[in-house]
Chains A and B, each alone.
Chain A
Amino acid sequence: MTAAEVRTQPAAPASPAWTGAPGIRLVWLHLRSRRVPGAVLALAVCGGVLRAALHWHWTFTSGFLAQQFPMIIGGGAAAVVAMTTHSPFGEPERATGRWLPYLRLGTALAMTGMAIGVLQLAVTGASLNGGIFTLARNVIGITGIGLLASLVTGGLLAWILPMAYVAFAQYALLEAWRNPWTWPVRPPDDRGAWICAAVVFAAGLAAFTVRGARTAPADS
C-alpha cells in the first residue's frame, strides 16, 4: 500500500440507480417525506380498534349513541390524514418545481380514499350503525377541517381542530342537533349533510393544494 492509495479514496459505490419512471420516483419521495407509510400504519391501527370495538361490544349497538365510537375513529383517521400535510423541507421545497401542488392534491386525495378504504375493510362483516356511508362522510368532512387547519397551524398541529370538531359533534349527537354542518349526527342519506361535508373537504383540498400547509409549526 502506498500513500497515494490512502490519499485517494476509492469512489463510493453509487446507490442503485432508479430504473423506473422519474415521475414515480418523485411521487414515492414525496410520499416518504410526508410519512405516508407511517400514516397507513396509523390508519390500520384506527381500523383495528374499530373492528375490536365492534367485535367485543365496547360500544352501543343501537340508538343514537351507537354513532359515537365510529365517529371518534373517523375523526382520528381524518386527523392522521391531516398530519401528512407537513413537509420536513419547509420553504425551500416550494421553489423546486411546478409539480408540488399536484403532489399535494394527489396525496391528500389518496390518503382520504385510503382512510375510507381501511375503515371499510375493518367493518366488513360487522354490523356498523349508520353504515360505511356515514363513516365515509365523517372522514371526508373532518379531513377537510384538518386540511384547512394545516394552513394555519402547520401540518403537525393540524389534528387539534378535527379533534375539537369531533368533541363538539359528540355534544351535537347527544342534543339531537339537526344542522347540516353537524353532519356526523345526520342520517346516512341526508343530502344537506353530504353537501356540507363535501364543501368543507373541497375548500380544504383546494386551499391546501394551492398554498400548502404552513411550513413552521405553531410552537416553533
Chain B
Amino acid sequence: MSAVALSRPARVLRIEIRRSVVPWSVPLILALFFFDSYRTAAGFPPNWTVHASAITDNLAWDFAPFAAGLGAWVASREGRRNTGDLLATTARPAWARQAAALGATLFWLLLTFLAAVAALYIQVALQATWGGPPLWPVVVGAVQVVTLAVLGFTAGALFPGRFTAPLAAIGAFLLVFIGFHAALNLTPDSSTNALLSPATGLPLEDVGVFYHVAPDVAIAQVMFMGGITVALLGVLVVAPVFRVRGGLSGAVGRAGRPLCAAGVVLLAAGVAASWTAFALTGTAKLGVSGWDIPALHDAASDQPIPYTPDCAGTAFPVCVHPAFSGYLPAAAAALQPVAAELKGLPGAPVRAEEVPAGEGVRAAQGMLLPGMASPGVSGTPPVYHYDGNNGIAPFLGSPAGADNARWRAGFQQELLTEFIAGPPNAGPRPDASVLPPTAAQQAVITALMTVAGSQAQFGEDMTNGHPTAGATPAQIDAAAQRFASLSTAARHAWLAAHLPALRVGEITLAQLP
C-alpha cells in the first residue's frame, strides 16, 4: 500500500517530465551557452576559480529568461486552459499538481545547467596545471536558476495571463542585469547589494591561487536566494486560501489548517533567511581571501596556500606559480635577454618571482589588500616581483596564445620600467592618473628593448597640450636609437654611472649619450 502511495507522485512527476516544454528550449539555451559562456571562458587563464566565475556571470544571463519565463508558462497552464474549476474537484490538492509541474521544470533546467557546468569544467581541466574544481559557484548558480524558476512559477500561478511568461522572462533578465550593474560598481561603502548579486566583474587572473577564496559571500548568497525561494513556495501553498469565498476562517478550514500553517511557516522562514543573509552581508570586509563575513569566516582560509614554484634558467631564474606553468617558457624567453643587459648594474635583479596580484581592479576601487607583496624590484639580493595581472602582458588566455612578440615585449617592458623608472607615480592632475616614465627613462627602456630584439609600447600622454614625458615620441625614438647604437660596454658603463640620477628623473633626453 505504501509503495503504491509513494509511486503516485513519482508517476505524476515522470509524466510532467516527459511532457515538459523545457526540453524544446534546451537547444536555444545550449547555443547561448556555447557563444556566451563557453567561448568567453576559453579566453580565461587556466585557473579553476576564474573559469568558475563564468558560471555566475555568463551562465546566469543564458538561463535567467528561460528559467523564469518557462516557470511562469508551466504554472499558468491551468489558468490558460480554463481547467482550474475542473481540477479543483479532483482528490489531489492544488499544491501537489503544482509541485509536480515545478519539479519537472526544475529537473530539466538543472540538468541542462549541470551539463553546461560540466562542459566548462572539462574545458579548464584540459588546460589547468594546478588546483581543482570549486563547488561553491556551482551551488550558487544552481540556486539562482531554481530561484528564478520559482519566481516565474509563482508569477504564473498567481497571474495566469498570456503575458505573464514574457514579462517574467524580462523581469528575470533585468534582475540579473541590475545585480551585474551593482557588482561592477562594488565599493567598500556600498557593498551589500553588490555582494548579494551572484554576478561579479572578471576576477584577477590569480584569484584562488595564492590564497583560498573564502566561501562567506557564496554562503550568504545561497541563504538569500534560498530564502526567497522558500518564501515563494510558502506563497504558493497559501495562495489557494485567498481564492476560496466565505471569509478567511472558512477558507482556512476548507483548505486545511495544517497546509495553511505550513505555508505561513515557509513564508516566515524564507523571509527570515533572506533578511539574515542581507544583514550578514552588510558586515563583509575585504581580506586576502576575498570578502570576509565575520560570522561565517574561517580564519584558516586566510593562510597562503603552500606551493613550489616552477622555475626556468640558471643565470637569471624566472619562476611562476605552478598554476601558470604553461606561461613559464614564454616568461623566461622574454626576461632572459633584458636581464642579461642589466646584469652587474647596481640593484639589478638576480631572479624573477611571481607574486599575488593585489592591485589592478581592486586598486582602482580603493580596495588594496593589506600585507601583500607588491610588484617591483626589491630585497637583498634584489628580486624582480611581478604578478600575472599586469596591464600589457597578463597571464590571460591560453598560454600558447600568450607566447608572441607583442606579449614578450610587454613582459620585458614591465621589468625594465620597474628597474629604470621605479614604481608608478600618481600625477598632480585632478584624476591622479599614473605618470608615464620621463622621456630619458623611456628612451633608455626603448633602447634596451631594441638591443633585446623587441619594440617598446609607450603611448603619447598629453598634459595641457604638451607631452607629459617632456618630449615627443619621435624625439624619444631618436635618442633611443642613439643609445642603442653604443657598444654594450659603453652602454653598461653609462648606466652604471647614471642609473640613480636616471631613476629620480634628473637626466634629460639631451644628456643621453
A residues near B (Cβ < 8 Å) are 35, 38-39, 42, 45-46, 49, 53, 58-60, 65, 68-69, 72-73, 75-76, 79-80, 83, 86, 156-157, 159-161, 163-164, 166-168, 170-171, 175, 218-219
CB < 8 Å neighbour of B19 from A46, A175, A219:
A219
Q: B residues 1-40 with Cβ under 8 Å of A?
A: 19, 21, 24-25, 28, 31-32, 35-36, 40
B residues near A (Cβ < 8 Å) are 19, 21, 24-25, 28, 31-32, 35-36, 40, 58, 61-62, 65-66, 69, 73, 80, 161-163, 165-167, 169-170, 173-174, 177-178, 181, 184
Taking CB atoms, residues of chain A closer than 8 Å to B65 are: 163-164, 166-167
Given contacts A58-B181, A167-B62, contact A159 B19 (CB under 8 A): no
Which B residue's beta carbon lies closest to that of A81?
A: B166
Taking CB atoms, residues of chain A closer than 8 Å to B40 are: 171, 175
**4 smallest A-B Cβ distances: which pairs?**
A76-B170, A159-B166, A79-B166, A171-B36
Does B177 contact A68, Cβ atoms closer than 8 Å? yes
Q: How far is the CA of A58 from the CA of B177 in the complex (A)?
A: 9
Does B167 contact A72, Cβ atoms closer than 8 Å? no
Q: How far is the CA of A218 from the CA of B28 in the complex (A)?
A: 15
A65 to B: closest C-beta gap in Å: 8
Taking CB atoms, residues of chain B closer than 8 Å to A72 are: 170, 173-174, 177
Q: How far is the CA of A46 from the CA of B66 in the complex (A)?
A: 18
Given contacts A72-B173, A219-B19, contact A45 B62 (CB under 8 A): no
Given contacts A166-B65, A167-B61, A219-B21, contact A42 B32 (CB under 8 A): no
Taking CB atoms, residues of chain A closer than 8 Å to B58 are: 171
B28 to A: closest C-beta gap in Å: 5
Q: How far is the CA of A45 from the CA of B36 in the complex (A)?
A: 29
B181 to A: closest C-beta gap in Å: 6
Does A35 contact B167, Cβ atoms closer than 8 Å? no
B125 to A: closest C-beta gap in Å: 24
Taking CB atoms, residues of chain B closer than 8 Å to A83 are: 162-163, 166
B186 to A: closest C-beta gap in Å: 14
Does B163 contact A39, Cβ atoms closer than 8 Å? yes
Taking CB atoms, residues of chain B closer than 8 Å to A170 are: 36, 61
Q: How far is the CA of A60 from the CA of B201 in the complex (A)?
A: 14
Does B162 contact A38, Cβ atoms closer than 8 Å? yes
Given contacts A58-B178, A219-B19, contact A73 B35 (CB under 8 A): no
Taking CB atoms, residues of chain B closer than 8 Å to A45 are: 167
Given contacts A69-B174, A72-B173, A218-B21, contact A167 B32 (CB under 8 A): yes
- A interface SS class: helix
Taking CB atoms, residues of chain A closer than 8 Å to B169 are: 76, 79, 159, 163
- B interface SS class: helix
Q: How far is the CA of A27 from the CA of B177 in the complex (A)?
A: 39
Interface centre among B61, B165, B170, B181 (most CB of A within 10 A): B170
A214 to B: closest C-beta gap in Å: 13
Q: List 8 extra interface pairs beyond A80-B167, A163-B170, A166-B173, CB under 8 A.
A: A35-B163, A38-B163, A45-B167, A69-B174, A75-B170, A79-B170, A156-B73, A171-B32
A31 to B: closest C-beta gap in Å: 14
Q: How far is the CA of A89 from the CA of B178 in the complex (A)?
A: 40
Taking CB atoms, residues of chain A closer than 8 Å to B80 are: 156
B453 to A: closest C-beta gap in Å: 32
Does A160 contact B36, Cβ atoms closer than 8 Å? no
A141 to B: closest C-beta gap in Å: 17
Q: How far is the CA of A168 from the CA of B166 in the complex (A)?
A: 17
Which A residue's beta carbon lies closest to that of B185?
A: A60
Does A168 contact B35, Cβ atoms closer than 8 Å? yes
Does A49 contact B174, Cβ atoms closer than 8 Å? yes
Taking CB atoms, residues of chain A closer than 8 Å to B19 are: 219
Taking CB atoms, residues of chain A closer than 8 Å to B69 are: 159-160, 163
Taking CB atoms, residues of chain A closer than 8 Å to B32 are: 164, 167-168, 171
Taking CB atoms, residues of chain A closer than 8 Å to B165 are: 156, 159
Which A residue's beta carbon lies closest to that of B20?
A: A219
Which A residue's beta carbon lies closest to that of B167?
A: A42
Taking CB atoms, residues of chain B closer than 8 Å to A161 are: 28
Given contacts A159-B169, A163-B69, contact A86 B162 (CB under 8 A): yes
Taking CB atoms, residues of chain A closer than 8 Å to B35 are: 168, 171
B75 to A: closest C-beta gap in Å: 13
CB < 8 Å neighbour of B21 from A59, A76, A86, A157:
A157
Q: How far is the CA of A157 from the CA of B165 in the complex (A)?
A: 9
Q: How far is the CA of A109 from the CA of B191 in the complex (A)?
A: 45
Taking CB atoms, residues of chain A closer than 8 Å to B163 are: 35, 38-39, 42, 80, 83
Given contacts A69-B174, A168-B36, contact A160 B28 (CB under 8 A): yes
Does B28 contact A80, Cβ atoms closer than 8 Å? no
Taking CB atoms, residues of chain B closer than 8 Å to A39 are: 163
Does B181 contact A38, Cβ atoms closer than 8 Å? no
Taking CB atoms, residues of chain A closer than 8 Å to B25 are: 160
B139 to A: closest C-beta gap in Å: 23
List 22 A–B pairs whose Cβ atoms lie within 8 Å, in order of A's numbering.
A35-B161, A38-B162, A45-B167, A68-B177, A72-B170, A72-B177, A73-B170, A75-B170, A75-B173, A79-B169, A159-B166, A161-B28, A163-B66, A163-B173, A164-B31, A164-B66, A166-B173, A167-B61, A168-B32, A171-B32, A171-B36, A171-B58
